[in-house]
């Protein structure tokens, strides 16, 4: 059993499994069988992976689609085109082999050949097998699952990626809604602009106005005067002295009985020795 790439032009497909041998002595290997050998009959037997089998006659040529060649020691090959050939083409996955007969040699059968995707042949035949990638190709990381560089796994199992994606989208949408507020001209940006205007322009301007009015009030206070045209503070100090003198120099007869209200002075308002002093003054008079 051998494997070849499907959908590819194949230049040298083996025709016989064993060397072509003389039909006279049954042991002499014949290395001179030509593409147009007398009595040449060649068939291609092909079975698909679905189990459909066909048999088609193939006419060997030289320099054409089915170029016949002797490789050595009675072993022969034939060319098979990928497409466009009149007899057979390498355009389907499956398994095939040749049978044939011609004059002077015994009938023969070729090896069974499997035809599959070139990538499978690359992974299983041409390249070293990867224990981590297996048959997945280069799409998966070359590391064990849950290892450094490997695919993440769910320790709990049954991780639904669609559910996780939906949850992520929900969180992202909520966060983006908040972030959008910070964009130029959006709600939070406008609030910040107002605050900036207040702190950099309005408040300093207001403080300047208050300071100016305070200076004006101080100036006004300094210039307030009394009825005599003297500062209230100075006038108040001057009049305190005058008041003190006047209270000591009340002139005679300045206070008459008519000026004193009835019961204006009662006994409780007089000092303890007031009566004695009054009697003394009367006697003296």
Convert the pLDDT of each residue in 187-226 to its tens digit: 777 787 788 777 777 777 777 887 788 877 777 666 665 5
Q: What is the per-residue DSSP string for 147-205?
A: STTS----SSS---HHHHHHHHHHHHHHHHHHHHTTSTTSHHHHHHHHHHHIIIIIHHH
Provide the residue ranges of all domains of the chain, joining segments of one domain with +. 2-116
Q: What is the pLDDT of residue 212?
A: 84
| CATH architecture, domain defined by 2-116 | Sandwich (2.60)
Does pTM surpass 0.85?
Answer: no
Quote the percentage of the chain above a pLDDT of 90: 41
Q: What is the pLDDT of residue 81?
A: 98
Q: What is the pLDDT of residue 69?
A: 98
Q: What is the pLDDT of residue 96?
A: 99
Q: Average pLDDT, stretch 48-54?
A: 97
Q: How far is CA 3 from the centre of its chain?
A: 45
Q: Which two tokens stand for residue 67?
A: 């170029």
């Amino acid at each position: 059993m051998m494997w070849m790439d499907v959908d590819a032009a194949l230049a040298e497909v083996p025709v016989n499994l064993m060397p072509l041998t003389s039909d006279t002595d049954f042991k002499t290997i014949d290395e001179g069988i030509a593409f147009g050998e007398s009595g040449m009959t060649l068939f291609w037997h092909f079975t698909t992976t679905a189990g459909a089998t066909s048999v088609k006659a193939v006419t060997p040529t030289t320099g054409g689609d089915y170029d016949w060649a002797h490789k050595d020691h009675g072993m022969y090959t034939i060319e098979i085109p990928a497409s466009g050939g009149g007899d057979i083409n390498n355009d389907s996955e499956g398994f095939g082999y040749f049978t044939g007969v011609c004059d002077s040699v015994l009938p023969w059968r070729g090896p069974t050949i499997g035809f599959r995707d070139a990538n499978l042949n690359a992974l299983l035949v041409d390249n070293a097998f990867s224990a981590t990638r297996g048959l997945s190709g280069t799409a998966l990381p070359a590391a064990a699952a849950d290892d450094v560089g490997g695919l993440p796994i769910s320790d709990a199992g049954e991780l639904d990626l669609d559910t996780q994606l939906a949850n992520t989208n929900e969180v992202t949408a909520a966060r983006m809604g908040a972030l959008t507020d910070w964009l130029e001209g959006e709600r939070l940006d406008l609030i910040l602009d107002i605050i900036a205007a207040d702190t950099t322009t309005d408040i300093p301007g207001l403080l300047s106005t208050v300071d100016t009015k305070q200076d004006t009030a101080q100036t006004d206070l300094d210039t307030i005067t009394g009825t005599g045209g003297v500062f209230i503070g100075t006038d108040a100090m001057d009049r305190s002295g005058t008041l003190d003198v006047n209270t000591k120099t009340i002139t005679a007869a300045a206070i008459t009985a008519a000026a004193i209200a009835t019961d204006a002075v009662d006994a409780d308002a007089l000092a303890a020795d007031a009566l004695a002093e009054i009697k003394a003054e009367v006697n003296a008079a």
